[in-house]
Chains A and B, each alone.
Chain A
Amino acid sequence: ILNVEQSPQSLHVQEGDSTNFTCSFPSSNFYALHWYRWETAKSPEALFVMTLNGDEKKKGRISATLNTKEGYSYLYIKGSQPEDSATYLCAFNHGYGQNFVFGPGTRLSVLP
């Protein structure tokens, strides 16, 4: 059974703070790692697809890194804003056309 973990479970930061959280996944049979942002009452929104060890991707104030050898990915948010408040999910994909295995998510609250 593939296990994907995320930490912390929840996080409260002040507006303007930078923050980061972790996704841990099996280091064998890696194919891709996906990050999603899920705001309440909306659909999960795709942020990044990461496939290569050492990958670093950026979208505005959000960036992510990938280490497939040790099985982890970090998501960073620089200068958090209240609109960044959401649950951040990572999903591990272990092969071509294979299903996604999701972590439980990190719930971020950014206080104004």
Chain B
Amino acid sequence: DAGVTQSPTHLIKTRGQQVTLRCSPKSGHDTVSWYQQALGQGPQFIFQYYEEEERQRGNFPDRFSGHQFPNYSSELNVNALLLGDSALYLCASSLMGNEETQYFGPGTRLLVL
């Protein structure tokens, strides 16, 4: 049983460019959450997708957008990249309900130059 997978593992972009990160959830999971982790901080919630819709959103600008596909996989898109967007982006999957644990992927390391 594959766990949560993310691609790519690393990415280098320049300011102003756009980036798409991908996530495949753990088998049987229907909910995908995205987090940004900057150096020295805990993961910060970006948004959550369930039933192909954004259910919740953290304090991130509209440059951050996402999508969930019918197979529950998800994409995170960031437009007009800023230097401050350099971070580790984590995807977590879960099964909607109660206090269900979120299972994390290994992350995508984004560097914006």
Binding site for B on A (CB under 8 A): 4, 6, 31-32, 34, 36, 41-46, 49, 51, 89, 91, 93, 96-105
Give complex CA distance A53, B52 in Å: 35
Stretch from B14-22, B66-74, B92-100 that touches the partner: B92-100
Q: How many residues from B make CB contacts under 8 Å with A?
A: 28
Chain B, range 70-105, C-beta contacts under 8 Å to A: 90, 92, 96-99, 101-105
Count chain B CB atoms within 10 A of each CB in A31, A36, A102 and give the residue with the most.
A102
Give complex CA distance A42, B58 in Å: 25
Give complex CA distance A42, B90 in Å: 11
Chain B, range 32-89, C-beta contacts under 8 Å to A: 33, 35, 40-45, 48, 50, 55-56, 58
Task: Decide: B56 and A99 in contact? CB cutoff 8 A.
Answer: yes
Nearest CB in chain B: distance from A86 CB, A: 13
**At the interface, yes or no: B107 with Cβ under 8 Å from chain A?**
yes
Nearest CB in chain A: distance from B35 CB, A: 8
Question: Which of A34, A43, A45, A99 is close to B33, meaning CB atoms less than 8 Å apart?
Answer: A99
Task: Decide: A96 and B98 in contact? CB cutoff 8 A.
Answer: yes
Nearest CB in chain B: distance from A111 CB, A: 22
Contacts of B99 in A (CB 8 A): 31-32, 34, 49, 51, 93
Nearest CB in chain B: distance from A101 CB, A: 7
Task: Decide: A46 and B106 in contact? CB cutoff 8 A.
Answer: no
